[in-house]
Structure 1
Amino acid sequence: MDLLLLSNGKVAGNTKVMEFALPAITELLTRKNVKNVVVIPYAVIRGSHDDRTAMVAESLSHLDVNVTGLHRAEDPVEAIRQADAIIVSGGNTWVLNKTLHDQGLIGPIQQAVMQRGVAYIGWSAGSVISAPTIRTTNDMCIVSAAITPSLGFVPFQINAHYIDATIEGHMGETRDERIEEFLIVNPHQSVIGIPEGSWLAVSGETMTYESANEKPLHWFRLNQERKIVAPGTDVTELMALDC
């Protein structure tokens, strides 16, 4: 598989979506000789699917690729079958995952990425759905039917936009406390917190952790001290987790 799982779409100073990871994205799409990029913008709620697709096209304008939005396809399943690369936008994870299930796209995307070697790039919600379930998303479940199983490209749960912080005067649970609650209920699983400006890169059998701002990855397991992982580290061991 070839995956780039970004925590978010932009960091401070960026003018284009995915700009902070653009060198890695360019390398991947060039190496795989990608010509046909399909953007899945279903997670976008407070905006236009066309606008989000156009944002991705602008970021990739330096490459000789054709960028189309899956929402415009007459046959979305066939569009996935014809794709050389799939890019999944951030937004609301619940809406994104439910839409993929409703349109019968989970299987075709899995086949494209895991069997045909189609490149997969996601940010925020687009990264969260690469886990076995979306139960560690930060998003509100704004749809009436809660569907949690997702693509399962990686065996661990992902928490995007991870922040190790407390807010003065805030009496609700911290991000760490929410993750701890998940692990108490799901004691054999791991949660990977990827902060802003960082991503997981899978190439074949190898996975590395990368960051544009030197922020570390956080690996949470029940009753174990969290593991802090520096950018540039080989984290292939995460792909062997039995979750």
Structure 2
Amino acid sequence: MELFLLSNGKLSGESELLGYAKAQIQAMLLRKKIRSAVLIPYAVIRSTYDARAEELESSLGIKVTSVHHFADPAEAIAQAECILVSGGNTWVLNQQLHELGLVVPVQRAVRERDVPYIGWSAGCNVATPSIRTTNDMPVRSSAVLPALGLFPVQINPHYIDAHVSGHMGETRDERLAEFCAINPSESVIALREGSMLHVSGNHLEYYSSRGEGYKIFRHQQETREYYDAQALAELVPFHCA
């Protein structure tokens, strides 16, 4: 299995989509001799699906076609060399995956055919068991449906622990602590901007373009900062480096 789970698509001041992870992604594309990818763009709301595909073509140097152009989206996923899942609104994305019958085709492509899955922000969220740890608003009336479950632990992308002056609502840490209190058997991996988890075969690595760590939230346990994947060894069925 090949998963790139990125917290976000671009860093501040960066013009290229997936630029901070470009070297790792292109190395994988070269190793697997991948020349094209199918984009699942349904999280995109304030741009167009084709504009997002064009951005990815420019950044990654491969042919990228949005799945909405295919008469049979499920068959497009079944034939894909690589699957790209865009950021945007997680609720809309997950609902569309279910309504268009793409959940099982994506799962089979990744698990059975070893098709690489590259997802950022919302695309990272839906790779986990559920979207309950998304930061997004349910902008349409959406049920909390299961997500793809390719990665076994909940992730919170765009994690930030800054305290904004004048903000009287709950901090991100408090929100994630609430999740763990309601779901005491589950953990949440909090990924800062410019960071990602990379699963290749049976190996899991953590990467941060800024040299920053990630956090693991558990019920009634101290939340700490970690800088490699070793801390995840008890949570995931991968060799963690």
**Contact map agreement 1:206 1:236 (CA 8 A) in 2:** no
Aligned position for 2:29: 29
1:108-119 aligned at under 5 Å gives the runs: 108-119=105-116
Aligned position for 1:217: 214
Secondary structure of the structure 1 residue equivalent to 2:159: coil
1:200 aligns with 2:200: no
How many percent identity over aligned positions? 49
Measured in 1, the distance between the counterparts of 2:82 and 2:99 equals 22
* Cα distance per residue 1:51-83 (max 9 Å; x no partner): 11111111112xxx3211111111101100110
1:150-189 aligned at under 5 Å gives the runs: 150-189=147-186
Secondary structure of the structure 1 residue equivalent to 2:207: strand
CA separation of 1:235 and 1:201: change in aligned 2, threshold 3 A: farther
Secondary structure of the structure 2 residue equivalent to 1:158: strand
Q: 211, 226, 234: which is aligned to 1:229?
A: 226
* Cα distance per residue 1:4-51 (max 9 Å; x no partner): 000001012311100010001101111111122011110001111111
1:146 aligns with 2:143: yes
TM-score by length of 1: 0.94
* Amino acid paired to 2:132: R
* Cα distance per residue 1:187-220 (max 9 Å; x no partner): 0000000000000000111111101001111111
Count residues with an aligned counterpart: 237
- Runs of 4+ off more than 6 Å: none
**Contact map agreement 2:132 2:144 (CA 8 A) in 1:** no
Unaligned runs of 5+ residues in structure 2 are none
1:17 aligns with 2:17: yes
* Amino acid paired to 1:52: R
Secondary structure of the structure 1 residue equivalent to 2:29: helix
1:85-124 aligned at under 5 Å gives the runs: 85-124=82-121
CA separation of 1:130 and 1:235: change in aligned 2, threshold 3 A: farther
Unaligned runs of 5+ residues in structure 1 are none
* Amino acid paired to 1:73: F
Secondary structure of the structure 2 residue equivalent to 1:161: strand
* Amino acid paired to 2:27: E
